[in-house]
């Protein structure tokens, strides 16, 4: 039996990871600060499992760590636009919070059990953009906005604590995730919400930026594959190999929502965002060598996702 901490367990990716761990019968200690993006309704689902315990706490204020095998850290401030307006929360959660978790791990006494493994969620954005080709795990980090800079700093902390204090770790760098349960500040749910309100979709930089899209369930499966492998002290990209322009993504959303090909009349093309990366692309061959591969197909999933957000209002 494994004992797992999942920080950010009520967030988008964290909830998918929590669900997978519970279904495996692992003991899960869920921690969440319960910010505006947290879905408290998930507690009704998770509390049905006898192997789930919840603590409402900011990771930077966590002062005790029970014996466990992994800390899966999905807790983070993640909206790039918010980081450009004010980076304070991003520094607090994404850097100071990670430092606190690392110190809790390194200060666990080893006389009884092996110290837990720090399984840290990073992002493809730490590499910066790339016009052609793909980033591998060996590439240097070139973050281009406060959010990705904070995440890159956290990655460096993990590697430094590993070198200095022998903290065992996994760093996972996922690409753009999508799926049901995402807060409507991200492109897909926000586009649906704007159309429900009769507002146009603000498509940055004429919709030309290119993003990889990976379903959150496939990301959670990547976590399971890495843990099952027993590997430690490794960095893994996870992308899935599907990319398209943001304009193409919005075209598909509008087509499903309004059953029309005249998608541009629902879009505002006038906005350009500071620090906009033109293209993210990851090579995830290293992860695939463990037997993982994506199962969800964007064009098959988008209709049900749009329908969900049309029928489930999220403040």
Which residue in this structure is represented by tokens 């947290």? 38
Q: Which two tokens stand for residue 203?
A: 């498509």
Q: Reduce the DSSP state of residue 215 to 3 states and report it.
A: strand
Closest CA to 170 of 234, 98, 123, 127: 234
**Alpha-carbon distance 175 to 123, whole Å?**
6
* Tokens read off for 151: 């995440």
Catalytic residue flag (residue 125) = yes
Q: Please identify which of the residues 125, 129, 277, 284 carries the catalytic annotation.
A: 125
Active site residue: 32, 58, 77, 124, which one? 124
Query: In terms of Cα–Cα distance, which of 205, 180, 171, 172 is closest to 279?
Result: 205
Give me the numbers of helices (H) and strands (E) for the chain, helices first please. Answer: 11, 12
16, 29, 127, 147: the active-site residue: 147
Q: Is 147 a catalytic residue?
A: yes
Residue 280 falls in the annotated catalytic set: no
Residue 264, φ and ψ in degrees, nearest 5? -65, -25
List the catalytic residues: 124-125, 147
């Amino acid at each position: 039996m494994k004992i797992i901490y999942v920080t950010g367990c009520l967030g988008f990716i964290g909830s998918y990871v929590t669900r997978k761990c519970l279904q495996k019968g692992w003991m899960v200690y869920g921690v969440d600060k319960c910010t505006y993006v947290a879905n408290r309704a998930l507690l009704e689902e998770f509390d049905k499992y006898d192997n789930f315990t919840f603590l409402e706490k900011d990771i930077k204020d966590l002062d005790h760590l029970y014996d466990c095998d992994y800390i899966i850290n999905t807790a983070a401030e993640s909206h790039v636009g918010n980081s450009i307006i004010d980076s304070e929360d991003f520094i607090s959660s994404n850097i100071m919070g990670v430092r606190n978790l690392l110190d809790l791990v390194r200060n666990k006494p080893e006389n009884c059990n092996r110290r837990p493994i720090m399984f840290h969620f990073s992002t493809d954005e730490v590499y910066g953009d790339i016009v052609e080709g793909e980033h591998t795990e060996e590439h240097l980090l070139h973050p281009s906005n406060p959010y990705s800079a904070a995440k890159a700093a956290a990655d460096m902390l993990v590697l430094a604590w590993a070198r200095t204090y022998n903290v065992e770790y996994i760093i996972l760098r996922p690409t753009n995730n999508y799926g049901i349960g995402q807060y409507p500040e991200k492109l897909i749910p926000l586009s649906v919400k704007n159309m429900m309100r009769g507002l146009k979709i603000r498509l940055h930089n004429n919709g030309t930026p290119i993003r990889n899209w990976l379903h959150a369930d496939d990301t959670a499966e990547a976590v399971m594959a890495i843990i099952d492998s027993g590997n430690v002290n490794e960095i893994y990209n996870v992308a899935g190999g599907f990319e398209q322009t943001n304009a193409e993504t919005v075209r598909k959303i509008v087509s499903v929502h309004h059953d029309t090909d005249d998608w541009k009349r629902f879009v505002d093309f006038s906005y350009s965002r500071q620090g906009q990366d033109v293209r993210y692309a990851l090579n995830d061959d290293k992860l695939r060598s463990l037997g993982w591969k994506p199962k969800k197909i964007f064009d098959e999933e988008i209709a049900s996702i749009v329908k969900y957000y049309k029928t489930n209002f999220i403040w």
